[in-house]
Amino acid sequence: MMSKKKKKILIIGGSGYLGQHLLQSFSETHLQEIAFTHHSSSSPPQILLQSLPIDVIPFQVDLQTGQGFDSISHNFGQPDVVVNCAALSIPRACETDPTVAMSINVPSSLIKWLSSFTKNNTLLIHLSTDQVYEGTKSFYKEDNETLPVNIYGKSKVAAEEYITANWSNFVILRSSIIFGPQTISPVSKSLPVQWMDCVLAKGEETTFFHDEFRCPVYVKDVVNIIQILTDRWISDGQNIQMLLNVGGPDRLSRVQMAEAVARVRGYDTSLIKPVSASSIDRGVKSPADISMDISKLIQTLSFTPTSFQDGVKLTIDTIT
């Protein structure tokens, strides 16, 4: 058993969507020392800092250069657990600048920093993506071949390979579309359920893809999965190497997602007009069906995922 001393948790990308949800959840327990990194500005949003306990420490870090990690070493120390949520995750942006995508999404500066400590036993929980799969079949398993069709997917495969080759204590989580309530400090990116709610509320016909399939996962499920993994590591302290698909229990097209939002809100579903994903040029290839088999996740963590319909209800309840 590891000691009862407070464990140090570092969230890379703590001002992002998943990062903020993790910060809120971890800081509520007061069982760990918490720090997080941000990059976009010299200081994280004040509304976020004000929502967190005063002892949660922010650090500005540039993942491309590694600048800022030394400050964490000096002012926080070696973390017991690192959760890496940071990524250039907009596929079109990755396609536009593959070099930047690779330099951010492959966590070489993070691994180099972790390797600088005498004990190389920090648990790295790394967020990957369902876009590592080619998208030509349904319900991919973790041991299926990775054949990404775009730079974003390729950068995430490269990240997985880098971690596997250079670190001995890790869990890689291949996440599908993450949806749920907005964060304390609202993120700039469009959130799927909120966007669908907004366009359907206008009462106008809107097109949605009928032939792209995903397993959207409720954000608080992802938070719970990370907490289970963290608690397990803190409890037994044994190095692990694990890869898990992290999706919701439902294989859905965008049409089906929109229909679920419409049902919860009472909108007219006839406003939802199916179109093929191939009919629109998004400037980047998108895999058709990257639905995932999540049986390993459920069995390994004794985890019960939230259905998309229930997740939509929980999300809608937070929209004013």
Is the model's pLDDT at 172 over the cut of 60?
yes
Q: Would you say residue 191 lies in a domain?
A: no
Supply the CATH number for residue 29's domain. Answer: 3.40.50.720
Q: Would you say residue 38 lies in a domain?
A: yes
pLDDT at 4: 64
Whether pTM > 0.75 for this model: the answer is yes
pLDDT in tens, 197-214: 999 999 999 999 999 999
pLDDT in tens, 135-157: 999 999 999 999 999 999 999 99
Q: What is the dihedral of CA 206, 281, 157, 83, to 10 degrees?
A: -40
Is the model's pLDDT at 40 over the cut of 80?
no
SS3 94: helix
Query: Is 267 within 8 Å of 200 (Cβ atoms)?
Result: yes
Is the model's pLDDT at 1 over the cut of 60?
no
pLDDT in tens, 25-39: 999 987 899 999 998
Is the model's pLDDT at 3 over the cut of 70?
no
pLDDT in tens, 44-60: 889 999 999 999 999 99
Q: How many domains in the chain? A: 1
Tokens 């890379």, residue located: 12
3-state secondary structure 217-249: EEHHHHHHHHHHHHHHHHHHCCCCEEEEEECCC
Residue 124 has a CB neighbour count (10 Å cut-off) of 22
| Domain of residue 147, residue span | 7-180+217-247
